């Protein structure tokens, strides 16, 4: 290469010495912890040395500086070598490494963002490259900056389909600022990796996915320096042939050592041997500073410029109201970005794309990667990211959602086409598990708007709410029920129908809230009054409003939801009132795998329409009367 300047011998020796110290500290830390993955650390020592002390540009005293090159350790079980790197640059104290995996240490078994030098949590394998894609896309297309993104993967995780979703994404969007280093150390946890050391097969696969790919000796600092200096015009895969357990004679390239620390006596002898290989070198290596070309970003003032523009009597599906709200939010907030999985004309995210095409990311039918890319886009508070698809297809990305919570990610997800009310498309398209799924995620917020006004407010609130937010939208058109200046808050329900003498409290959301309102009119003719509650957020649930209303109706509550019984609105309400004496909750929900049909037919067949609400209220009142 014309512009490649071979490092001098002092530099190369300094890099070898650093690699040896990374091995030593990884072994020391895991032996002290009594657990961990020293052999997985040892295979990447030279790679980490060259990356952090020769190739990457960053400020070690400020790991989250927006100008820094980014690094993701996708093979998260090799965390000790990452911690050893940050001790080597002086950010961590070396003796801190001996606290690895202790309950009072930030150095957990796998990387987590409570460590300032970690952007996304890893350890559930196969997800790092997708997040790296989001970071690289942000760098190239949103920040228009020169920072690069490096992702280190293990060969075992290359069996994960999500890796290849990310590979396809990076190639399609020509992410030439992205470098993936594949640590081909041959051995998995319980078996060799499928391709073992057939590095040429990995190369052909990467090239087939549109990546520039080069095979190197992963233990040669000189080869690594040379390959990492190459100019790039497409995403770059470095296929590094390595030895698992390199530097540990008893474990080199041997099965049975994965996830096992070295016994104390063995670690001491191995460390002595490694120390003897460290050659005196006068050169001290420091990371090169980054280019200062990344603009500062503030996400503090993300808000709608005006109130919703709906009138009483208007009808709109909440899925369309979501698209209208996104486009409006994007008009006045240039860091709002939207992703979709080839459903934009169903989720109505296309309304955002039509207005703001440069901030829309089409992820195609790869929901796992879409969530990972969204996580990457939101890293370091560079963007407010919204990602949408059918609610049911988020089930495919549940591990990515779980890891988003561990990553402390602020991403917003919209699942449309929830429940049987989508009608003729049938059960494969119906989101009926999504509330249960998102309720189980720590620090999540679940919005379930019931009209256009509340949907717009949900979008605005999601944009400023920390943690993972989920907005559940529906396919049928429904009436506007709120005034445009109605105030909404996370965790605050609305009593949308009440009298001075209510007999039963009915809690519905989305489509079933409108069925409950229709039931209220029907029951009024029988002189039965019901109080109807719109929870607005399922998590956190407004327990106080529900309990107060329950008390006003003598403990009688009916819930009705377009979701399976397990884990949805009914169970959330039951949890809220579990300690209340004299309360009875009658739940209406979808009890079995549904089928195709017209929306109103399916609501009736599965017992969640207005007639079912009327019947449940009558039954509850009848039971109360009989009890007396």
Strands (E), 417-517: 445-447, 469-472, 477-479, 494-497, 504-508
Kindly name the residue from 88, 157, 160, 367 that is annotated as catalytic. 367
CA distance 332 to 463: 13
- DSSP secondary structure letter of residue 99: G
CA distance 596 to 567: 23
- Is there a contact between 420 and 590 (Cβ–Cβ < 8 Å)? yes
**Most distant CA atoms of the chain, gap in Å:** 94
CA distance 425 to 604: 17
Tokens of 113: 């963002």
CA distance 509 to 596: 22
CA distances from 76 to 44, 104, 130 (A): 12, 20, 14
Question: Which residue's entry shows tokens 């039931």?
Answer: 519
CA distance 547 to 609: 24
- Is there a contact between 445 and 467 (Cβ–Cβ < 8 Å)? yes
Which alpha helices (DSSP H) does 239-395 contain, by range?
Answer: 264-276, 318-332, 344-347, 350-355, 367-378
Tokens of 377: 């886009």
- Is there a contact between 502 and 553 (Cβ–Cβ < 8 Å)? yes
Decide: helix, strand or coil at residue 255: coil
Tokens of 158: 């290359």
CA distance 465 to 201: 45
Which alpha helices (DSSP H) does 379-446 contain, by range?
Answer: 398-406, 434-439
The distance of Cα 94 from the centroid of its chain, to the nearest Å, equals 32
Q: Characterize 293-312 residue by residue with b for buried, 16 or more Cβ atoms within 10 angstroms of its Cβ, and e for exposed.
A: ebeeeebeebebeeebebee
- The helix (run of H) or strand (run of E) holding residue 538 is strand 537-539
Cis status, amide bond into 540, omega within 30 of 0 = yes
- Is there a contact between 470 and 458 (Cβ–Cβ < 8 Å)? no
CA distance 145 to 502: 61
In 3D space, the residue among 95, 45, 107 whose CA is nearest the CA of residue 274 turns out to be: 45
CA distance 567 to 437: 8
CA distance 257 to 270: 15
How many residues are recorded in the chain? Answer: 628
Residue 210's Cβ-count burial label (10 Å; 0-12, 13-18, 19+) is middle
367 is catalytic: yes
Query: Could you tell me how many helices (H) and strands (E) the chain has, helices first?
Result: 21, 19
In 3D space, the residue among 349, 323, 338, 415 whose CA is nearest the CA of residue 383 turns out to be: 338
Catalytic residues: 367
């Amino acid at each position: 290469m014309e512009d490649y300047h071979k490092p001098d011998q002092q530099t190369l020796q300094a890099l070898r010495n650093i690699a040896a110290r990374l091995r030593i500290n990884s072994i020391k830390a895991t032996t002290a912890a009594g657990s961990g993955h020293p052999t997985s650390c040892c295979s990447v020592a030279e790679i980490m040395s060259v990356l952090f002390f020769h190739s990457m540009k960053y400020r070690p005293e400020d790991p989250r500086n927006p100008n820094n090159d980014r690094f993701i350790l996708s093979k998260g079980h090799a965390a000790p070598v990452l911690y050893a790197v940050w001790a080597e640059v002086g950010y961590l104290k070396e003796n801190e490494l001996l606290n690895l995996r202790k309950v009072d240490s930030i150095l957990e078994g796998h990387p987590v963002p409570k460590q300032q030098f970690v952007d996304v949590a890893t350890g559930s394998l196969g997800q790092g490259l997708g997040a790296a894609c989001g970071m690289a896309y942000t760098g190239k297309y949103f920040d228009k900056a020169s920072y690069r993104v490096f992702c280190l993967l293990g060969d075992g995780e290359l069996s994960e389909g999500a890796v290849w979703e990310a590979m396809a994404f990076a190639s399609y969007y020509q992410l030439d600022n992205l470098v993936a280093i594949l640590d081909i150390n041959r051995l998995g946890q319980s078996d060799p990796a499928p391709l073992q050391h057939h590095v040429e097969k990995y190369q052909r696969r990467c090239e087939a996915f549109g990546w520039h790919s080069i095979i190197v000796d992963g233990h040669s600092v000189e080869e690594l320096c040379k390959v990492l200096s190459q100019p790039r015009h497409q995403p770059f895969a470095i296929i590094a042939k390595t030895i698992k357990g390199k530097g540990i004679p008893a474990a080199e390239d041997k099965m049975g050592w994965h996830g096992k620390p070295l016994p104390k006596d063995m670690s001491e002898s191995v460390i002595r041997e490694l120390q003897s290989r460290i050659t005196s070198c006068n050169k001290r290596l420091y990371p090169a500073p980054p280019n200062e070309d990344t603009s500062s970003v503030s996400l503090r003032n993300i808000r709608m410029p005006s109130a919703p523009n709906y009138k009483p009597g208007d009808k709109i599906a909440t899925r369309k109201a979501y698209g209208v709200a996104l486009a409006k939010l994007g008009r006045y907030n240039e860091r709002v970005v939207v992703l979709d999985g080839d459903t934009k004309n169903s989720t109505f995210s296309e309304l955002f794309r039509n207005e703001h095409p440069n901030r829309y990311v089409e992820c195609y039918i790869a929901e796992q990667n879409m969530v990972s890319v969204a996580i990457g886009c939101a890293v370091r508070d560079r963007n407010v990211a919204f990602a949408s698809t059918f609610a049911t297809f988020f089930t495919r990305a549940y591990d990515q959602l779980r890891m988003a919570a561990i990553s402390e990610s602020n991403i917003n997800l919209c699942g449309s086409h929830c429940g049987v009310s989508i009608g003729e498309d049938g059960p494969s398209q119906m989101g009926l598990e999504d509330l249960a799924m998102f309720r189980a995620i720590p620090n999540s917020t679940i919005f379930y708007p019931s009209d256009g006004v509340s949907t717009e407010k949900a979008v605005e609130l999601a944009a400023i709410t920390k943690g993972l937010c989920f907005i559940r939208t529906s396919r049928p058109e429904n009436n506007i029920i709120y005034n445009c200046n109605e105030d909404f808050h996370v965790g605050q329900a609305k009593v949308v129908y009440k009298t001075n003498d209510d007999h039963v409290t009915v809690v519905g959301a989305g489509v079933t809230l409108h069925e409950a309102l229709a039931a209220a009119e029907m029951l009024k003719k029988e002189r039965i009054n019901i109080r109807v509650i719109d929870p607005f957020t399922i998590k956190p649930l407004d327990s106080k409003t529900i309990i107060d209303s329950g008390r006003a109706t003598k403990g009688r509550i009916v819930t009705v939801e377009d979701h399976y019984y397990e884990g949805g609105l009914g169970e959330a309400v039951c949890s809220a009132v579990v300690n209340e004496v004299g309360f009875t909750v009658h739940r209406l929900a979808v009890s079995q795998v549904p089928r195709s049909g017209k929306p109103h037919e399916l609501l009736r067949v599965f017992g969640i329409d207005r007639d079912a609400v009327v019947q449940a209220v009558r039954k509850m009142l009848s039971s109360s009367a009989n009890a007396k």
